[in-house]
Chains A and B, each alone.
Chain A
Amino acid sequence: ELKVEQNPLFLSMQEGKNYTIYCNYSTTSDRLYWYRQDPGKSLESLFVLLSNGAVKQEGRLMASLDTKARLSTLHITAAVHDLSATYFCAVAPNQGGKLIFGQGTELSVKP
């Protein structure tokens, strides 16, 4: 059974600081997703990582995937308050399209 674990689960950051969220998964998968969720809202797609070594960047966020280590990271550079949200990674266990989600990381960026 595929398990996806994120850490940390809670992250309080100061504006301008850097930090990394980690996502580990237990079985082989070649598709990993990062989402952002604001309170009361649905998911906003951030990144889709489809191969080992994939790295994608959008603004202050950068995601990478190491399929051999079964690890993905979401790196935050020079955090700003607008990045405060809950971030989820999700892994596809097979080709069918369903996703298994990590627990989520609640990020709070304070001035």
Chain B
Amino acid sequence: GAVVSQHPSRVICKSGTSVKIECRSLDFQATTMFWYRQFPKQSLMLMATSNEGSKATYEQGVEKDKFLINHASLTLSTLTVTSAHPEDSSFYICSAPGLLNTEAFFGQGTRLTVV
């Protein structure tokens, strides 16, 4: 099946620094990528939708200036957490829809710890 490769799997950064997370669709073109966040013992919450060649759409309550999303090609979407703070520590997961949007392919997830 289709594969979405997400890197890094784990990252620890200092408060105030920025972190970039990459998601690549390896054997298909992903015109859309969904970014989810999952706090410990909680469900996945959609943060934003990135579309190749256009601006991302953010869910209510998600700061677009803090979570920068770029979808510069049909195989790569990036999420940059800017000026990270400890409360941004979470598990971030990307997902790309398959053909006809009937399937969703998830990346391996990125565990972000801000110290």
Contacts and interface: CB of A to CB of B under 8 A. Distances in A.
Interface of A: 31, 33, 40-43, 45, 48, 50, 88, 90, 92, 95-104
Given A96-B32, A99-B46, A42 B93 contact: yes
B109 A92 contact: no
Nearest to A40: B111
Contact of B43 (A41, A95, A104): A104
Interface residues of B, number: 21
A85 to B, nearest CB: 13
A42 to B, nearest CB: 4
B43 A88 contact: yes
Contacts, number: 53
Looking at A98, A102, A104, the one whose CB has the most chain B CB atoms below 10 A away is: A98
A48 B102 contact: yes
B contact face: mostly helix, strand, loop, or mixed? strand
Interface string B78-97: 00000000000000010101
B109 A42 contact: yes
A98 B107 CA distance: 14
Which residue among A90, A100, A101, A102 has the maximum number of chain B CB atoms within 10 Å of its CB? A101
Interface string B25-48: 000000010100000001111100
B106 A97 contact: no
Nearest to A92: B101
B108 interface: yes
B101 A43 contact: no
Contacts of A42: 6, 93, 106-109
Contacts of A92: 101
